[in-house]
A and B are shown apart, each in its own frame.
Chain A
Amino acid sequence: MQGPLIDTLARQGITRRTFLKYCATLASMMALPPSAGLAMAEAIAAVRRPSVIWLPFQECTGCTESITRSHSPTLEGMIFDMISLDYQETLMAAAGFQAEEALHNAMKDNMGKYLLIVDGSIPLGLDGAYSCIGGRSNLEILKEAAEGAAAIIAMGSCASFGGIPKANPNPTGAVSVSDIIKNKPIVNIPGCPPIPAVITGVLAHYLTFGTLPELDDKKRPKAFYGETIHDRCYRRPFYDQGKFAKTFDDEGARRGWCLFELGCKGPVTYNACATEKWNGGTSWPVESGHGCLGCSEPDFWDAGGFYKALSMPADPLKIASAASVAGAAAGVAISVANRAKKGAARSAHETTGLADLEK
């Protein structure tokens, strides 16, 4: 299937205008200048498809599901036409040695040029024995595949930050891609699962400009992770007015008030759900009446409970009574000592006579 992408698309019945429109939307979403849509369309239409290797590690396949079942299969799917997906266990027809061969061939043929997509965390416990493919640990595979990669895309919270496998007490010793690979450009696309448009956006950017999009300090594309859920939430006006749902079935909940008190992690979660939404723009968690879990943030699983408001401390009075007793005891002890000292000074009092005014 070589040749310009536009021809491939045309064969699938996707017109140039449809593609242009798609690129314009993609550019807008990524906060690129309007002219970038056109540039993107022209670049991608003519580009030779880069080789992509997709390695699944300790994961649940939710990320793959998210991408492959995204709302407009033809359009999101055409991103896969832009690339040459040379290895993806879940999707590929090949199996066993055949599959491994495909992987090695792709790596050899495209040395230094292929994109590596990783989903799932990498277990380090028991020398990586918790997750092996073809008798080799994830760690080993990742190191080998990363060696020849031009860039790595860590798909989902597990690959980006360790995710649920890393949740306390982290029995497998799970770590993220960037914990292991230090010498390659890495893009994290966290989320459990991540928003499909984000990965296509990153790919489109890479294809158009040959570079990764601008990243924040957690290596997330700023275009999608630049603002919190709370900033873009349609329920934000209620927060500003101090109107909060107190339970999931009260009047406030019915009126669609802010879910802050019900534990919404929107204010500390950087993601694009509030604007991109899910299921083809149908809805998203907050719109369906549930607070944000913060799934795209590191260690969201251990951040003090999904239903505890952010302003609520975990258990602030745990040591309060003990501290109060200790404080009172210390106070009483000092009081006794002070009174003894004062008493001693008083009993040692020598009545001052006139002569005692002089040295």
Chain B
Amino acid sequence: MNDLQFLTWVRGGGLDIAVGIFLLGVLWRLFEIYSLGRKPDLSAPRHASGASGWHTIFRRSIPPPGMLKRSPVSYIGGGIFHIGLAVIVFLFVPHILLITNLTGLSWPGLPSQFVDLVAVVTMAAMVVVLVDRIKNPVKRFLSTFEDWFTWAVTFLPVLTGWLAVQHLLLPYTMMLALHILSVEILLVVLPFTKLFHAFTLFGSRWYNGRVNGHKGVPV
């Protein structure tokens, strides 16, 4: 298989399979998790929960008072790399073209030089959180194979994408193919690892917010 054949496969059959497994996994896992249900809360609410669930979904992205100082690497490093990933995935022009092709939705992107910078910053932040995971006693204690694995699976698409754009290490065709392949690996493992927090995070924050809202605890 040569470079272009490899690229053709990852853009064709490979992507079909990856997207298929991703969709299958996401739906299966969402059903599996949320069908367990919960009992209605019979205690009288302090006041109606209202939008507390939604509030929490947004507010939990910001560190609570005093926590930034206690866990700066997690908050700053984590914040940067999550925002960076979002910028790269949703505001890099070739990625928008892909999304447009799939969904018909389109929006303006950012200059490629800027996205390039974001990619470098994102990778730096990811390396910092990795070093923190190795050095911080709590993170090291909690970490399992899955944590290292998912870090790599998230890092590789950024790295290969950046190398491809920068024409480093390997010919562009090969690098682009590897980039797409790494995204496919990410898609395949996402529903079955902790990366699924990209979906359950909203449910978890919402549950937490609802319970607090019910009790009148600030959310």
Contact = CB atoms under 8 A, between A and B. Distances in A.
A231 B95 CA distance: 19
Contacts of A302: 5, 8
Contacts of B32: 331, 334-335, 338
Interface string A290-314: 0000100111101110000111111
A342 to B, nearest CB: 7
Contact of B29 (A270, A298, A331): A331
Contacts of A218: 2
A299 B26 contact: no
Contacts of B37: 339
Contacts of A241: 111
A273 B37 CA distance: 63
Given A311-B95, A332-B31, A319 B20 contact: yes
Contacts of B15: 313-314, 316
Per DSSP, chain B at the interface is: helix
B112 interface: yes
B35 interface: yes
Contacts of A239: 112
Q: Which 5 A-B pairs have the closest CB atoms?
A: A331-B31, A327-B27, A335-B35, A327-B24, A323-B20
Interface string B4-28: 1101100111011101111111111
A227 B5 CA distance: 19
Given A311-B98, A315-B16, A268 B26 contact: no
Interface string B54-73: 00000000000000000000
Nearest to B13: A314
B35 A338 contact: yes
Given A302-B8, A311-B94, A319-B20, A328 B31 contact: yes
B179 to A, nearest CB: 11
B19 A240 contact: no
A300 B167 CA distance: 21
